[in-house]
């Protein structure tokens, strides 16, 4: 909930601070390595640097407004600290050893949570559909305006010509 509030507040500030009648705006994006915790480990999982680590996935991502749009590259298991700023890559065997020790299943291929996989894709698709609909409506409106101008009399009155 806190993450959503921060995202909404940032988007609000970005749009409020832009100048009036301007097509410019602030777009916050990220590109590169990303980390996602997939399994919380007990408090006893302390590394050599005295930080607590959880099992997660290390991958590459492109995102807008702190939300992923496209995940790519090789997914690797990793131990990720609680702040999600330090990681240690693991082999499949090492990840499975953690799963066996702490009694949880570790898939053969690292997988991201569903919401991280989906990200902003539905919103982007909706925006594209709305833009296409807007273009068709604009074109239809222009065609109607041209037809109305052709049907208007040239004598200055606003009544269409009558056929007798």
**How many CB atoms lie under 10 A from the CB of residue 58?**
21
Alpha helices (H) along the chain? 2-16, 92-102, 114-118, 121-151
pLDDT classification of 26: cutoffs 50, 70, 90: confident
pLDDT more than 90, % of the chain: 36
pLDDT of the residue at 94 = 92
**Residue 76's closest CA among 114, 38, 119, 115?**
38
Res. 21: pLDDT tops 80: no
pLDDT of the residue at 60 = 93
In total, the chain counts a number of residues equal to 164
Res. 135: pLDDT tops 60: yes
Q: Is the separation of the CB atoms in 161 and 153 below 8 Å?
A: yes
Tell me the HSE value of 47 on the side-chain side, using a 13 A CA sphere. 14
pLDDT more than 70, % of the chain: 77
Rounded distance, CA 57 to CA 53, Å?
A: 12
pLDDT (tens digit per residue) in 94-131: 999 999 999 999 999 998 888 888 988 999 999 999 99
Per the listing, tokens 């991201």 go with 112
pLDDT (tens digit per residue) in 58-71: 999 998 888 889 99
pLDDT of the residue at 58 = 94
pLDDT classification of 10: cutoffs 50, 70, 90: low
Res. 158: pLDDT tops 60: no
Q: b/e for 9-41, b at 16 or more Cβ within 10 A? A: eeeeeeeeeeeeeeeeeeeeeeeeebbbbbbeb
pLDDT of the residue at 5 = 60
pLDDT of the residue at 1 = 59
Q: What is the mean pLDDT of the chain?
A: 81
pLDDT of the residue at 40 = 92
């Amino acid at each position: 909930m806190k993450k959503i509030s921060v995202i909404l507040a940032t988007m609000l500030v970005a749009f409020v601070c832009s100048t009036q009648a301007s097509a410019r705006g602030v777009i916050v994006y990220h590109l590169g390595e990303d980390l996602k915790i997939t399994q919380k480990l007990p408090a006893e999982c302390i590394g050599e640097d005295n930080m607590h680590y959880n099992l997660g996935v290390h991958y590459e991502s492109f995102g807008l407004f702190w939300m992923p749009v496209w995940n790519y590259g090789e997914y690797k298991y990793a131990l990720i600290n609680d702040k999600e700023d330090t990681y240690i890559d693991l082999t499949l065997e090492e990840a499975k050893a953690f799963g066996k020790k702490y009694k949880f299943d570790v898939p053969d291929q690292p997988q991201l949570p569903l919401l991280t996989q989906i990200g902003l894709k539905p919103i982007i698709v909706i925006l594209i559909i709305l833009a296409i609909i807007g273009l068709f409506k604009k074109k239809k409106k222009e065609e109607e305006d041209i037809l109305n101008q052709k049907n208007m009399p040239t004598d200055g009155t606003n009544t269409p010509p009558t056929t007798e």
